Amino acid sequence: MNVEMANLAEALKQILPESQVSINPTVREQHSKDESYHTPCLPDLVVFPETTEQVSEIIKLANTYQVPVVPFGLGSSLEGHVIPYDLGITIDFSLMNKILEVREQDFLVRVQPGVTRSQLNKELKKYGLFFTVDPGADATLGGMAATNASGTTSVRYGVMRDQVRDLETVLADGTIIHTGNLAEKSSSGYHLNGIFVGSEGTLGCFTELTLKVYGIPEHVMAARASFPTVNDAVQAVVSILQAGIPIARVELVDEPSMKQANLYSETDYLEKPTLFLEFHGNEAGLKQDVEFTKELVADLHCELIEFETDNAARNKLWEARHHLAYAYVHGFPGKKLMVTDVCLPISELAGAIRIARKTIDELGLDGGIVGHVGDGNFHVLLMLDTTDPLEVSKADQLNETIVLYALERGGTCTGEHGVGIGKMKYQEKEHGEALRVMEKIKQALDPQNILNPNKIVRIKEEG
Amino acid sequence: MNVEMANLAEALKQILPESQVSINPTVREQHSKDESYHTPCLPDLVVFPETTEQVSEIIKLANTYQVPVVPFGLGSSLEGHVIPYDLGITIDFSLMNKILEVREQDFLVRVQPGVTRSQLNKELKKYGLFFTVDPGADATLGGMAATNASGTTSVRYGVMRDQVRDLETVLADGTIIHTGNLAEKSSSGYHLNGIFVGSEGTLGCFTELTLKVYGIPEHVMAARASFPTVNDAVQAVVSILQAGIPIARVELVDEPSMKQANLYSETDYLEKPTLFLEFHGNEAGLKQDVEFTKELVADLHCELIEFETDNAARNKLWEARHHLAYAYVHGFPGKKLMVTDVCLPISELAGAIRIARKTIDELGLDGGIVGHVGDGNFHVLLMLDTTDPLEVSKADQLNETIVLYALERGGTCTGEHGVGIGKMKYQEKEHGEALRVMEKIKQALDPQNILNPNKIVRIKEEG
């Protein structure tokens, strides 16, 4: 550690208790990576603030020292967002993990950024409420806002950005702002919630989040529908959406992924391309939705549809779906997970999945396809030996094929995982001149480029 | 007209046919105002482009001449957004009024900014689709995106920002960008749709919009529910939302406004505080929702609930609601409309409406209260003699009382009308340091301050 860093560490210890400023190699190693295949890199220092004011003081110091700051939740991101390639300070938010307020009547909660989605849902259950966004990991809500995460229920309730009413945010100079308010809608000023959600720590660090929650639906029914082909399954989803059925979840799991799920979750589901479905509503409406869905999927050659009405079986079904990434990780010890993440207009989805499968097979890779197909979003789950350059290169080739196919059809290179380091190379192609606008915003709000530098946009050094 | 303007007019005639560049006083007068009480001001020139490239060339010229540019749809805004107080060029989008593409399967449409909401809905009906956002005026979609408009259905389907997938936008230097894509969701780059929607022409001019549309619901039922007091009506809305009934519309119309509506729309609805309700869904679900709603409103002293199942009666009901502002304008010839527009967390709504009514009465003003109460948004409709300084000052006092009450309770000074010139004075109070972020974004994207200058944020001249 050089003299400047030592001075910075000393200065940080004036802000935080000594135990909350760490240069310990093990702690730094824990903050050097996420759940992706991207190469780790250790931060110089890790700090564990407990208050907004401390975060503000930390960032002021970083600004003075011109040292990068990377916010860190649980490290469950999938594109290297939290890997501090430019070194500096990692701010770990695990001590800021309190649920501050539940405003039952307003369907709002106020939380610190280190609260996880399952922690929040456990608390909300007492009020008959739930938080809808459910990415695969039990991520922190701060991290989920930073990447604009989504999940299985987005088809009905929207993505993370749709749930954010306000972010208390610390800017690059330590200023504390609020990006929104508590009202359901507003036309006052620029919609800062819009750009701060999904900004991956490059515009500010969130210290409090006010989020929208929903009443637990009166009736819920889940189902698994098995199809002879992935294409039939996707067409069934299109039919369901066209029919205006307000489906709450509709997830595709292909044949290899069903096998992996059965192995990991000890289920014995039919190993065919499958839709996992869920319906929310009042009893009568839900019954009618379910009957209509049965008819629609039958027309698309559905071989078997099984309903789970009791809580336990339903939870088991969704656990099997949520744990799929871990099922793959578990099934391929020593390998690392790479996940593609494009999203397309639904009319282009079947074609995109067909090309993905063809390319996986041609390249001789082992990959499963899963997806939030109601949103037009799908993932290829690949297990990689990252020490084998040929395998890595094939995976990159697959990813590129899938991304370019999506971009040529009005889609996006990432539906929910974010840009991080992995999707930087597609930003120019996807956004064109709009990327210049993003760069200008970044430069205007972070002129010294200290906030998670070189993620999303790369600011060229002057001179 | 000075020499510089004459030169600019000549240069514009190189871009557009002569007939589409106007310095005619009548044409300029038509573009000097909106539907509000704000003082008119004539632009130097009005242009009527037909293509994106023309808009780009016009803005490039404005940039070269350092002359303001104000986009103009139909002039139905309510806070002076389109009044060119800094003079310059007004771009009238009425010739860019084509529906370019309907992507049925993707629930998307692509339109030019001059298309109105009723024009779009007429076309969409052929496909069994509809566009949800319905402000009082038959506004242009470009204007609605510029103010982040909303309406009676936002409680179910969201506001304008929620419908925008992509904006083809011309920036201050004439560059053409796309702010989004066609995918249902994206975590790629900063969410430019977020800040461009609601930017009121201060960051760019929209030349094409890709918008989300919905299937016309299988079953629709509308109702009017009359209550002894406004407070009972608001509490009934809270009950309906708490019960998780997916209400599609829920509008409050107070007693004076019911009188005005009956006069204008030739209806004979009960002149009591009334909720106008609408339910969308499948037949069985809707029936259950309606029965449950009847029970809930009965508990809140509902005196009469009447259902309209046939199309004609339902349309008449919503027309009466939509035409309320015009009903007031019609009822008070020679006076001008002033509308307040706060939005609060729903738990604070009843108190806010109570204070509004008390203040209206204390000041001796004639005002009706209507509102999208499911969103926590309400309006006072006031008819003003704008030549009477005392009346104007009382109206300002009322507006301020209502706005400050909302801001102190986590609300916003404008739920859907936008900032324009009328709500500038509340921006500092509402946003605090976040207003500095908005100013930085404006300066970064419009360094010469030519795009609808001195709306939303005021950029101080240097030196």
**Domain at A277, CATH number:** 3.40.462.10
For the segment A173-190, what is each residue's pLDDT rounded down to a tens digit? Answer: 999 999 999 999 999 999
Q: Does A94 touch chain B (CB under 8 A)?
A: no
A265 and A351 housed in the same domain: yes
Same domain, B40 and B134: no
Q: Mark yes or no for CB contact A433/B288 under 8 Å.
A: no
Q: Residue B148 and residue B144: Cα distance in Å, rounded?
A: 6
How many angstroms separate the CA atoms of B290 and B279, rounded?
8
Nearest CB among A183, A343, A406 relative to B410 is that of A183
Q: How far is B186 from chain A (nearest CA, A)?
A: 4
* B352 part of a folded domain: yes
Q: Are residues B188 and B230 in the same domain?
A: no
* Long-range contacts (CB closer than 8 Å, 24 or more residues apart) made by B126-130: B127/B102, B128/B215, B128/B216, B129/B102, B129/B104, B129/B213, B129/B214, B129/B215, B129/B216, B130/B213, B130/B214, B130/B215, B130/B216
Instruction: Decide if A204 is inside a domain.
Output: yes
Q: What is the mean pLDDT of chain A?
A: 95
Q: Give the residue from B183, B213, B243 where a domain finishes.
A: B213
User: Of B98, B141, B123, B355, which is closest to residue B230 (Cα–Cα)?
Assistant: B355
Same structural domain, A317 and A225: yes
Mean pLDDT of A100-104: 97
Q: Are A67 and A450 in contact (CB under 8 A)?
A: yes
B463 in a structural domain: no
- In this complex, do B175 and A375 lie within 8 Å of one another by their Cβ atoms? no
Select the residue of A292, A377, A440 nearest B185 (Cβ to Cβ): A377
The answer to whether A445 contacts chain B (CB < 8 Å) is: yes
Contact B189 A445 (CB under 8 A): no
pLDDT tens per residue, range A37-78: 999 999 999 999 999 999 999 999 999 999 999 999 999 999
Q: CA angle at residue B413 from B408 to B414, to 5 degrees?
A: 145
Our count of domains for chain B comes to: 3
All residues of chain A having their beta carbon less than 8 Å from the beta carbon of residue B185 are 148, 150, 154, 159, 343, 375, 377, 412, 415-416
Domain for residue A179, yes or no?
A: yes
- The secondary structure of residue A462, as a DSSP letter, is P
> How far is A142 from A298, CA to CA, in rounded Å?
42
| Mean pLDDT (10-residue bins), chain B, 463 residues | 89 97 97 94 98 98 97 96 97 98 97 98 97 95 98 96 98 98 98 98 98 95 96 95 94 95 92 96 94 95 92 90 89 91 97 97 94 96 93 96 98 98 97 98 98 94 55
Span A385-439, pLDDT tens digits? 989 999 999 999 999 999 999 999 999 999 999 999 999 999 999 999 999 999 9
Sign of the torsion angle spanned by Cα atoms A446, B203, A210, A427:
negative
- Chain B interface, mutation test: which of A160, A190, A237, A373, most B Cβ atoms within 10 Å? A190
Q: What angle do CA A71, A74, A75 make, to 5 degrees?
A: 75
Q: B243 with B179, same domain?
A: no
| CATH of residue B52 | 3.30.43.10
Domain end marker among A213, A246, A272: A213
What residue type is A367 in one-letter code?
Answer: G
Q: A188–B292: do the CB atoms touch at under 8 Å?
A: no
Q: How far apart are CA A105 and CA A114, in angstroms?
A: 24
Hey, of B187, B193, B293, which one would you mutate to test binding to chain A, going by the most A CBs within 10 A of its CB?
Answer: B187
Which pLDDT score, from 0 to 100, does residue B463 have?
42
- Shared domain for A227 and A158, answered yes or no, is no
The minimum CA-CA distance between B453 and chain A, rounded to whole Å, is: 14
Q: How many Cβ pairs within 8 Å bridge chains A and B?
A: 299
Which 348-407 residues of chain B touch chain A by CB within 8 A? 375-377, 406
Residues 165-194 of A with CB under 8 A from B: 171, 175-179, 181-194
Give pLDDT tens digits for A137-149.
Answer: 999 999 999 999 9
User: Nearest CA to A381 among A412, A360, A363, A401?
Assistant: A360
Handedness of CA A17, A23, A28, A30 (dihedral sign): negative
**H helical segments located in A198-306:** 230-242, 255-265, 283-299
Calculate the alpha carbon distances from A81 to A84, A89, A136, A424, B376 in Å: 8, 14, 16, 11, 37
Indicate if A201 and A295 belong to the same structural domain: no
Q: What is the pLDDT of residue A463?
A: 43
Both B186 and B37 in one domain: the answer is no
In this prediction, residue B462 carries a pLDDT of 57
Residue B65 covered by a domain: yes
Q: Round to the nearest angstrom and report the end-to-end CA distance of chain B.
A: 28
User: What whole-number percentage of chain A has pLDDT above 90?
Assistant: 90
Residues A118 and A9 in one domain: no
**Structural tokens at position B317:** 């009901």
Averaged pLDDT for residues A194-209: 98
Helix/strand/coil for B420:
coil
User: Is the overall model pTM greater than 0.90, yes or no?
Assistant: yes
Question: Do residues A252 and A261 lie in contact, with contact meaning Cβ atoms separated by under 8 Å?
Answer: no
The runs of H, that is alpha helices, within B385-433 are 389-407, 427-431
Query: Tens of pLDDT along A257-304?
Result: 999 999 998 899 999 999 999 999 999 999 999 999 999 999 999 999
Range of the domain at B117: 98-213
Out of B241, B284, B345, whose CB is closest to A288? B284
Cα separation, A66 vs A89, whole angstroms: 11
Pair (A223, A209) in one structural domain: no
Per-residue pLDDT at B311: 87
Clarify whether residues A226 and A368 are in a common domain. Answer: yes
CATH (domain of B111)? 3.30.465.10
Residue A35 inside a domain? The answer is yes
- Please report the pLDDT score of residue B461 as a whole number: 66
Q: Which of A90, A106, A122 is the last residue of a domain?
A: A90
Residue B429 inside a domain? The answer is: no
The Cα of B83 is separated from the nearest Cα of chain A by a number of Å equal to: 18
Helix (H) or strand (E) holding A253: strand A249-253
- Chain B hits for A343, CB-CB cut-off 8 Å, are 183-186
Please indicate, yes or no, if residue A271 is contained in any of the structural domains.
Answer: yes
Residues B269 and B370 in one domain: yes
